[in-house]
Each structure stands twice: as structure tokens, then as C-alpha cells.
Structure 1
């Protein structure tokens, strides 16, 4: 495994409603990446047939209790969008893509492309679930903001040490310099002072340890690099800690707490934390395709719960976005105050809020793991978009072109449906 990690770079395109210029936010989103071997050169079927019927959903998270799907797929193609998706899939050997787009808080486009299981030739459908990778962090952030609205947490609360949220639950030694100074706010903004993704991300070490064991090991063995609050370094480990904070405050597992605080109130029933191995693949979950020798099933995804462990449909994420987007049609589940806090950067990095990258009034995030590349965006032009895939590529411009699927189609000014594909 490499000891340095790729940067996920997002861009927004030209239009009076958008950013006036493509901007690369260097070093903004640092996602986990493993050893890059030579490309396999395998050409994957990128057929564009889409699901056009309603489906039975995969259940409540266990994969055993079916629930009626509350979605229908788009029946009228938007050629501009289909062209961009097909070109992306061909260029980067992507087996499957799932896209959801909202306009004015209506779901106006929902489509599945390609093959969800390359070995079996299974056609992708809209109810397929994908690993979200770092698009999981936004659910952790919203859960913290919900606790903030409920008066159960303050952003200035200390995390470790006497009287702190987690006390001395973790670690076997006296805490190192400044560890007891770390606050919830600093973990949310990736300014805790250490444990970053740039070099030696703790979350990709000691794979057999539980989250609790890993936190103890890291506190004992990995001192901070900076004074908390002074430096931005994208930290998966910091969001692992936030998951344990949520557990301590709620008395629930992280997964159940997020379902209670965030998912159930907005009608999302089939998101869950994913498994690690192919044998642990859940119902309606796609099969992940590794490129360059990457094995998508070699990592402890379950331990990544609060920073990279969720699986979901594209429509799940689209529904999530319309309840936190500050637009007036659907009542947001957070107060205006908490939304403003969540979408505001730190003094160390004004371009990253609490789990969200910021570009003007556009808020977004990409995710990347072996076999997974994702993006969700809340846009100031009234649109939101979600793009999920079951592979990733190290070819130049992969992250950029993933982001540009929506923007290039949007620039062609297509006619969007006025119907709402959300049934409720």
C-alpha cells in the first residue's frame, strides 16, 4: 500500500448561475488510495440500457426485510447526460454508473447505466446500492449537527481527557501534547493537528483491529503534528473518532444513531454500513471492479463506518441532499444556524466546511476507494446531483471527468422533467 494518497479534485463550470471558471482546489479532498500497478487493459461492457420499472428495495439495512421502492426510473432520456455518462464509462472502463439529479428539490432524473456485476453480466438498475467511500462523511456531519440542534453537543467540546466527551476511554498511556485540546469542531474541519490522509493514514493500518483498538493504538503511538486548529489535513481517522462521539452521546451504535437522527426522519430505509469481502456483499449491492491490480475486497470497510462505510442508492443520496440544501420546497432537517455552520470553512482552510468541500455557494464531496468512486453536490443553481460508480481509475482527469458529467450536460441546456420521481 502506498503511503501517500491521491487528491480528489472537484470543478465547477461556466455559467452565470455557476462558478465563472473551472477551479482546481488543490489538496482539498484527500482520499484513500492503494498501490497502483500497471493497468489491466481490460475493456468492460458499458451498455446504456436502463431500468424503467419500479423495484423492490433491499430492506432496512439487514438485507432481509423487503420494502416497496419509492422510486421510478426516468422514462425519457436526456441525451446530453447519457452522452457524458457513456463517454466517461468508455474512457475509464467503468462497469456501472448510477445518476440522480434534483431540480427545485424534485427528483428529475434517475438512471442506471451498464453492468452491476461484470462477472455475471447483471444489468445495473436504480435500486442498486454502492459503497459511498468518503461521501459517508456528510452523514456523520449532519448527525453531529442534529445533536447540536438538540443541545446535546457543542462544537467547542473537547474530545479526549478528563471531563471530555470520550474521557479516557481510549489509550493506555498519558495523552501526548495537545491531544486533550482537540475539539469536535476541529475533527469536523480536519484541523485536529494530526492523523491525516496525506501520509500514513491510521485508518489504513492495523486492519485486524476494531475501531476502538485502532483509536487506542493511534493515541498511544501517533503524536500530533500541529497544534489543533492551526493546520488542515484531511483525516479519515478524525471522522472515525466522530463516530465514537455520536455513539457515546446517543447510546446507540453509530449506524443506528445516524438512522435515528438523519435517515428515518427523511424516509431513507435501505442505507447501511457495508461489509468487507465479496462474500459479505449485501442484497442489491453492486460488485466492485478493481483496476491496476487493486482488490476492492481487501479492506476493512465496516471499520470505516463514520468516514467511508455507508452503502446507498443514488436516489438515497439525492433524497438526503434535498433535506439539507437550504432550498425552500422541502423543510430541512437542520436549523439555519447549523446549516450555516456546516457549510462554513475554517481559518486553516476556508474551502472545507464540516464534511463538505466549498466552492462559492456550491457544497460537494467526492469519495474514492478501490472499486469505488462517488460524488454528491448541492449547487447554488437549484440543482443537486449524485454520481456513483463501481470502480475507480488512476488515469489522468478521472476525478475531474467524474465531476464534469453533470456540468457538461448542464451546459447544453437540456429540457428537464417537471415531474417528481420521488413518489413521496
Structure 2
């Protein structure tokens, strides 16, 4: 194989991959699974299995789009670092109060010392001191409230349990705040900023914020299937924009991953110091950086989970990137989807995953 040739799976390797994928789908009651891989920043394989809609038997294709849930968080992080490179933000900027990035929208008298000390970096690393997703997640309460009303009610009724920076607690609400900070700094909507600054530079025009109901599905979007009492169309997904609201194809996520992986084939959308900082873990949790899970290998990734969908996006130290999405969610599917993608990648020895 020539040095610049992109390794592709052979027919036999594709058959092995499909066998693994079909078993996963059966084990976790998944109607549809879509996957994509890149090797050394070049697309190497993408395919789909099953159905976009199990009821109508509409076959799933690589062109179908999925809710990506919390894989949205890396997009938010990249956009923030792009704004920082333009001098519009800094990691240690305060979030609230007279000098805060959200300004005086929240009445000053309601701000506790903990809220006053909250920074952009705290929110990016889930070290804000509260608003975790383990129980009573603010982003899944009061679905009729808009962003401003939700933020005011949460700051008023949900005090921080710890000083910012001390402890890690995965916070969807923290990323909701980051979305509003992006809007303030960029002067446009969160979705508009990410599309203009990130997606356009990656040659992507098919990603957008999801609708809430089945009737509000975007063109080419799959149907999400209920499992174990999940209600995929009973959420305000549009309000989740910055922490879990995007829809995408796996191939589109690949186009983003290869533009932040530090490789030499595709120009990164961030300068090297910004990229390194984005992937640097906090002292409170050595396995989570700014919108990315990390380890010492180093691999970088994020998974996503919402009623009706599971997703994952990975940058490996070996030079691979991959993404996968499903249109149903059952217990244990997140770790299993991660293992599946590693197993699929290892079906192709030339990838050296």
C-alpha cells in the first residue's frame, strides 16, 4: 500500500464489521446504526445498518441525520476557543455580576459569592460547583421556559453546593450558560455562531439544532424509538442547543474531529496553544478537559445520550477518528457503543487503531 493511500476495509473485513454491528443492534434493540471512520485525517469508511424508521421500514443510509446529544459539547468548546483567539473571551472571565460575560441580566442582589466567582473555565470543565445531571437536572425541568427564564429560575432556586473549581459534576446547565456567553460575545445566535465559525470552515452545511417533536424532525432526520419508557419527543431539545441540541451525520462529525486533532493533512480550526488548552484536564477531574473526555494515551472523545439516541465521537492517539449514532437507547448502550467502535476499527489491521 502506498504511503499516501487511504486504507479501506476489504469485503471480508466489511462482513466482519457488519456481523459485530448487527449483534450490537440485536443486543441493545437498536433499529438503526450509522458509523464513519477517518484514518490519518482522511475519510476511510462509512456505512449504516438497519432502519431510519422501524415502523415504515425506511432503510437507514449514511445521509440520515441523528440527534447527537452531548456530543454537542465539543462543538460548543471549539466555538468558545475560536472566540478566545479573536480576543472576545478568556477562560478566566467571570460569568455573572457587573463584569461577568452574562452581564446584569440576573439581578445583582441574587448573586452569592460562589456565583460571583464562577468562570468560563469552570463551566467548560464541569467544575462550577453544582447543577449536576445525576438528579433534577435543570435542563429537563420546566420545558416551557426559554433560556433566560430557565437561567433566572435555576440561579434563584438551585444554589451551588461547592466552591467553583473544587469538584467535578457533569452539568448540562453549565453548557446552557456557555451557549448564552457565546451569543453575547459573538453578537449572533449560538447556532449561527457555530455554523459560521466552525461548521462552514469544515465544509459542513447539514448540521443544525433539532426540533422537539416527531413532526418537527428536520429533512433526512431519523425517527427516534422509545425503549424502557423513554419519551424521545417529550423534551425541549431545541433549548438544549449548546449542551445537546445538534443533529448531524457521522461523516460530518468526522470532518470536525480531523480539524482539531493536531494532524498535518487538514488545517486545524484552532491554533496549537488553543487546541492543547482545550484538551487539558482540570485538576478536579483528570479525565475531563474543556468539553472533551481525555486520557493519558492520549485519546479524546465524547459520548451522547438522550431518550431515543446514543452517540459517540472519538479522536485516537493512533491517528484514527470515528463517530457513531443510533436511533434508540437502552441501558448500557453507551459503553457498549464505545467498545463496538474499537472492535470495528480493529477489524481493519491497516488502520492500526
What per-residue deviation string (whole Å, max 9, x for no partner) do you get for residues 312-355 of structure 1? Answer: 01111010101011111111010111111110110100110001
Q: Equivalents in 2 of 1:412, 1:346: separation in Å? A: 35
Aligned-pair distance for 1:277? Answer: 0.4
Whether the 8 Å contact between 2:305 and 2:334 is mirrored in structure 1 is no
Whether the 8 Å contact between 1:148 and 1:154 is mirrored in structure 2 is yes
Aligned-pair distance for 1:311? Answer: 0.2
Aligned equivalent of 2:144, options 179, 192, 208: 208
Cα 1:171–1:115 shift into 2, 3 Å: farther
Cα 1:171–1:302 shift into 2, 3 Å: farther
Whether the 8 Å contact between 1:365 and 1:376 is mirrored in structure 2 is yes
**Are 2:319 and 1:382 equivalent residues in the alignment?**
yes
Aligned-pair distance for 1:149? Answer: 1.2
Whether the 8 Å contact between 1:373 and 1:391 is mirrored in structure 2 is yes
Q: How does 1:290-369 map to 2 (within 5 A)?
A: 290-360=226-296, 361-369=298-306
**Which residue of 1 is the match for residue 307 of structure 2?**
370
Report which of the two has the higher share of helix.
2
Whether the 8 Å contact between 1:171 and 1:220 is mirrored in structure 2 is no
Whether the 8 Å contact between 1:184 and 1:242 is mirrored in structure 2 is yes
- So what's the TM-score if we normalise by structure 1? 0.78
- So what's the TM-score if we normalise by structure 2? 0.94
Q: Equivalents in 2 of 1:128, 1:156: separation in Å? A: 39
For 1:297, what is the secondary structure of its paired residue?
coil
What per-residue deviation string (whole Å, max 9, x for no partner) do you get for residues 116-146 of structure 1? Answer: 0111110001110000000000100000010
Whether the 8 Å contact between 1:362 and 1:380 is mirrored in structure 2 is yes
Q: Equivalents in 2 of 1:123, 1:366: separation in Å? A: 25
Cα 1:247–1:210 shift into 2, 3 Å: same
Cα 1:258–1:74 shift into 2, 3 Å: farther
**Which residue of 1 is the match for residue 3 of structure 2?**
none
CA RMSD of aligned residues (A): 1.6
Whether the 8 Å contact between 2:310 and 2:333 is mirrored in structure 1 is no
**Which residue of 1 is the match for residue 222 of structure 2?**
286
Aligned residues: 342
**Are 2:63 and 1:130 equivalent residues in the alignment?**
no
Q: Equivalents in 2 of 1:303, 1:170: separation in Å? A: 19
